[in-house]
A and B are shown apart, each in its own frame.
Chain A
Amino acid sequence: MPAFEVNGKTYNVDEDGFLEEPGVWTKEVATDFAGCEGVTELTENHWKVINYLRNYYLQFGIAPMIRKLCKETGFKLNEIYAMFPSGPAKGACKLAGLPKPTGCV
């Protein structure tokens, strides 16, 4: 199992850098993972997306529909791409500690 070392901490991640155990997520994870997803600073807007994803995941066991994410957070899709360059399904989900999406996602 590959390990990801950052800021003196070690995380167990899969080959794509997603957290192996989504349960161990804390806010620190998002901060530590931000750099490798091309996010320089986590602003209030970033946290709005991350917290929404995290809460939806804890309730339903998966990320929400992209359209719903946009509607509920009030950001347009291109704004989310501007915040998370690798997109909502990859970058934002990784920072929120969700497992890597599978299938044609």
Chain B
Amino acid sequence: MQPLTEEERKRAFAATRKPEAIRKQRLPVRYHVEDFEVADRPRRFLEAFAAILKHTNYRLALDHYMRVTAKCSRCSVKCQVYVATGDTNDIPCHRSELLLSVYRRHFTVSGVLRGRILGDPGLTDERIQEMADSFYNCTACRRCHFECPMGIDHALITHLGRYILSEIGIVPRALAVSVREQLTGATGNTSAVPVAALKDGLEFLSEEMQEDKGIDIPFPIDQDGAEYLFLPAVSDFLMEGETLMGNAAVFRATGDKWTIGTGYFDGINYGLFYSDHILEQVLQKIRAEAERLQVSKILIGECGHASRSAKFFYPTFCGGKEALPVVNIMEYTHRAWKEGRLKLKPDAISETVTYHDPCNLARSGWVVEQPRELLKAFCTNYVEMTPNRQDNICCGGGGGTVSMDELRPYRTLVGGRMKADQIRATGAKYCVAPCANCKKQLRELVEEHAIDCQIVGLHDLLYKAIIFDSSVPGE
């Protein structure tokens, strides 16, 4: 990988906000932040921290991490941000230490005593500024977790740090505005898509497919008692028509009953990036819609964080063992294909195709082989990028940073630098990135680095390979 040139460094770290705003908020960060109460910040940070510790299980993790952390920096080799910047502040265990040291000083007996004896003033406003900057340089890809000899999950600490910061008003504006629309706005989704526009878009896609394949491929809306409630990243309804066409075509082929609910149709959950409180509120919206339509499963579209937030936290907040099962669309499609209910033309795509593992799907080993088996079933020229699967490299726009347009030069020059080399090395015509977040970031990345590769979703390509029976299945 080429080191950052002086010019690139300047662009990546250029100030994006007006100096007055930075001065007024006392926050030298590059992402935009809505105005918030600045006075007495350290005290309010500690109060928020204490409240979170009281009502959650984070204390268990922090107690353990605080004792075992060796600060050995082995994680540095895994961090694509540190490898690009070479700045020691970007080493994951340094980032974690920013918060762990606050915990040690203020929330342990020995730390409080030592503070009194040594006259340590404790948390300062400067430390809060440092955390606000550092925690959003991380893409929360969790790759460093594998290299840590003590098993510290640095992304969990980053998440907690962002959670506490959000409680005192420090949240990237792009995330805050979207979440406000989702939870309290008229449209109830992050991209502010009204139901009329949703229906218009879906009708248009059905017409396109009718024209293309000569058969009726519907998007069922508000079907009571359907098996699957479908929740893609809502941005798919604006940006990824091709992916949605693939999704609908799979259901047309299998004949399973699915539906999009007009009460709630957004899989996006930015709570995963910065607030457990919001994570829960968004999941409760999914639960309400699932109950309204009496569905039996929740199906998340091609989106990494939407899938992970629902798969792993829906049971936590919405009924435990009784909670509805959560399925990712690629799991669904893969199973249908395995069962022989979905037939694919083996030579539908002859161009070189590679696969990018979205961190939120692959890091835990959840959706790794399914998309590969599907791709190999209809692409004659499939190549892997390295490293891959659980050890994949992040697109560079994870952890919510992709929504912040002001960070674009940082994301493409620093965060995605390793990824750009990786994609270029495959020489692929198509890079399949089954995640709304990764798609946006990778498109900006290939544009910045002038790589001749088209970023698509898995279902975009699969759509070209589906063989439809002449009879309507299930009837």
Let me know if B189 and A103 touch, CB within 8 A.
yes
Question: Which residue of B204, B403, B406 contacts A68 across the interface (Cβ within 8 Å)?
Answer: B204
B237 within 8 A of A: yes
Residues facing A in B210-236 (CB within 8 A) are 233-235
Let me know if B197 and A60 touch, CB within 8 A.
yes
- Assuming the contacts A102-B192, A103-B178, asked whether A90 and B405 have C-beta atoms less than 8 A apart, the reply is yes
Over the window 393-414 of chain B, the binary record of Cβ atoms lying under 8 Å from chain A Cβ atoms (1 yes, 0 no) is 0000000001101100000000
A-to-B contact residues, CB < 8 Å: 2, 15-16, 60-68, 71, 89-90, 99, 101-105
Let me know if B178 and A65 touch, CB within 8 A.
no
B275 within 8 A of A: no
B contact residues around A89 at 8 Å (CB): 238-239
A contact residues around B440 at 8 Å (CB): 104-105
Q: Return the chain B residue nearest A60 by Cβ.
A: B197
- Assuming the contacts A104-B402, A105-B191, asked whether A65 and B201 have C-beta atoms less than 8 A apart, the reply is yes
- Assuming the contacts A60-B196, A103-B190, A103-B403, asked whether A65 and B268 have C-beta atoms less than 8 A apart, the reply is no
Q: How far is the CA of A62 from the CA of B201 in the complex (A)?
A: 11
- Assuming the contacts A60-B200, A68-B201, A89-B239, asked whether A102 and B190 have C-beta atoms less than 8 A apart, the reply is yes
B contact residues around A62 at 8 Å (CB): 191-194, 197, 238
B447 to chain A, nearest CB (A): 9
- Assuming the contacts A67-B208, A67-B241, A89-B238, asked whether A104 and B197 have C-beta atoms less than 8 A apart, the reply is no
Let me know if B437 and A104 touch, CB within 8 A.
yes
A contact residues around B241 at 8 Å (CB): 65-68
B-to-A contact residues, CB < 8 Å: 17-18, 32, 173-174, 177-178, 181, 189-194, 196-197, 200-201, 204-205, 208, 233-235, 237-239, 241-242, 266, 268, 303, 402-403, 405-406, 436-437, 440
Let me know if A61 and B194 touch, CB within 8 A.
yes
A37 to chain B, nearest CB (A): 13
B contact residues around A15 at 8 Å (CB): 17, 32, 173, 406
Q: How far is the CA of A101 from the CA of B189 in the complex (A)?
A: 12
- Assuming the contacts A90-B405, A102-B177, asked whether A67 and B18 have C-beta atoms less than 8 A apart, the reply is no
Let me know if B181 and A104 touch, CB within 8 A.
no
By Cβ-Cβ distance, the 5 closest A-B pairs, closest first, are A103-B190, A67-B241, A103-B191, A60-B197, A104-B235
Let me know if B237 and A102 touch, CB within 8 A.
no
A contact residues around B204 at 8 Å (CB): 65, 67-68, 71
